[in-house]
């Protein structure tokens, strides 16, 4: 497998504090890599390091196979774009002027392609409007357009949907999917909004206290998320008696509802419960959410 980014025991210390502690991760080419962790876990620190905004204390990383210590890292970094924390846009400029400014910084010979870029991020109609009048979602999309100006094939987005309204979230999601699928751009997206990430990510890296506790593909994650049967009954005590007798793993949700893990013979359960005058009101299969998996992995305290 070809990797756009790898890190080997990458560490960043601030005095005695280890913001990154021997972090190992691999972002495959073509992936949408969800970089998941609580506030303060070290996500932004990793992003700052790979963008070259800070230097590692120990360990190393490669971008497109080029080591961070090698001279050719500069060329590899040209293939990468990033929106770190808030997008760096000039609010008194229009979207078009912001892009022209970026083109000048990049030393591009002409402004060719700006209209195309604005259309790509869904700002074709707003090119002449000042950025200060943009919604947060439009600003985020302009930030992505600026990051795309250098024609990267790896985009790093730090918490791209933080603070966006539902419509803004959908627009960013669709843009990321389009750029990934139609323009073959690999993404590293840091987020603590797991539900949203699970609609996009092909791979996940779970970071906790500066190191990766699990790296897993979306397919592996789906298999690892426990399937369960959600059941609503008229007599929860009868259900508990049945589940204990069958030695099934379960969780009581309310005084009429429970989640049952593992294989359950529904016919047998229906008959046995009927013998105790317990009616099944509803029953359906559900997957454990990414959020429950994550909490199981790193523990729930101070999770936002
Ligand atoms: N310049 C710095 N000096 C000292 N400590 C720092 C510095 N930058 C970050 N830290 C600490 O390093 C830890 C990791 O910070 P980082 O910003 O990478 O977390 P994060 O996972 O991105 O969380 P958030 O979502 O809150 O930004 C935090 O405890 C933070 O306080």
Domains of the chain: which residue ranges? 3-79+152-223, 226-287
- Give me ligand 1 centre to Cα 299, in Å: 20
- Give me ligand 1 centre to Cα 256, in Å: 44
> Does domain 226-287 bear CATH number 3.40.50?
no
Mean pLDDT of the chain: 90
Q: Is pLDDT of 192 > 90? A: no
Candidates 14, 86, 197: which one to mutate for ligand 1, based on the most atoms within 8 Å of Cβ?
Answer: 14
pTM (2 decimals)? 0.81
Q: Which residues pair with 16 in a beta bridge?
A: none
Candidates 21, 25, 43, 189: which one to mutate for ligand 1, based on the most atoms within 8 Å of Cβ?
Answer: 43
Instruction: Provide the pLDDT for residue 235.
Output: 96
50 pLDDT tier (thresholds 50, 70, 90): very high
Q: Which CATH architecture has domain 3-79+152-223?
A: 3-Layer(aba) Sandwich (3.40)
Instruction: Provide the pLDDT for residue 303.
Output: 43
pLDDT above 70: percentage of residues in the chain: 98
Within 13 Å and on the Cβ side, how many CA atoms surround 123? 34
- Give me ligand 1 centre to Cα 49, in Å: 12
Instruction: Provide the pLDDT for residue 302.
Output: 44
Candidates 13, 16, 19: which one to mutate for ligand 1, based on the most atoms within 8 Å of Cβ?
Answer: 19
Q: Is pLDDT of 289 > 70? A: yes
Average pLDDT over residues 131-139: 91
Q: Is pLDDT of 134 > 50? A: yes
Instruction: Provide the pLDDT for residue 301.
Output: 52
67 pLDDT tier (thresholds 50, 70, 90): very high
- Give me ligand 1 centre to Cα 45, in Å: 6
Q: How far apart are CA 215 and CA 218, in angstroms?
A: 10
CA torsion sign, 15 to 19 to 23 to 28?
Answer: negative
Pocket of ligand 1 (CB under 6 A): 14, 17, 19, 37, 39-45
Q: Is pLDDT of 304 > 70? A: no
Nearest CA to ligand 1 atom 25: 39
Average pLDDT over residues 61-86: 90
């Amino acid at each position: 497998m070809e990797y756009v980014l790898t890190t080997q025991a990458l560490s960043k210390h601030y005095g005695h504090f280890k913001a990154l502690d021997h972090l190992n991760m691999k972002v495959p080419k073509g992936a949408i890599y969800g970089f998941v962790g609580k506030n303060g876990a070290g996500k932004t620190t990793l992003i700052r390091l790979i963008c070259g905004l800070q230097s590692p204390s120990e360990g190393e990383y490669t971008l497109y196979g080029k080591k961070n210590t090698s001279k050719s890292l500069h060329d590899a970094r040209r293939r990468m774009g990033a929106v770190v924390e808030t997008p760096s846009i000039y609010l008194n400029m229009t979207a078009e002027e912001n892009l022209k400014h970026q083109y000048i910084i990049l030393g591009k010979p002409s402004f060719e392609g700006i209209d195309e870029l604005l259309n790509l991020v869904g700002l074709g109609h707003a090119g002449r409007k000042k950025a200060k009048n943009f919604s947060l979602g439009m600003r985020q999309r302009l930030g992505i357009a600026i990051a795309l100006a250098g024609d990267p094939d790896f985009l790093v987005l730090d918490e791209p949907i933080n603070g966006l309204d539902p419509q803004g979230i959908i627009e960013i999601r669709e843009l990321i999917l389009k750029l990934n699928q139609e323009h073959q751009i690999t993404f590293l997206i840091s987020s603590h909004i797991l539900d949203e990430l699970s609609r996009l990510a092909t791979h996940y890296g779970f970071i906790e206290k500066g190191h990766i506790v699990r790296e897993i593909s979306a397919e592996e994650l789906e298999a690892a998320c426990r399937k369960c049967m959600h059941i609503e009954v008229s007599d929860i005590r009868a259900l508990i008696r049945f589940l204990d007798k069958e030695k099934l793993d379960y969780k009581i949700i309310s005084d009429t509802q429970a989640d049952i893990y593992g294989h359950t013979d529904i016919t047998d359960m229906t008959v046995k419960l009927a013998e105790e005058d317990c009616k099944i009101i509803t029953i359906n299969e559900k997957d454990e959410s990414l959020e429950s998996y994550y909490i199981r992995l790193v523990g729930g305290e101070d999770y936002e």
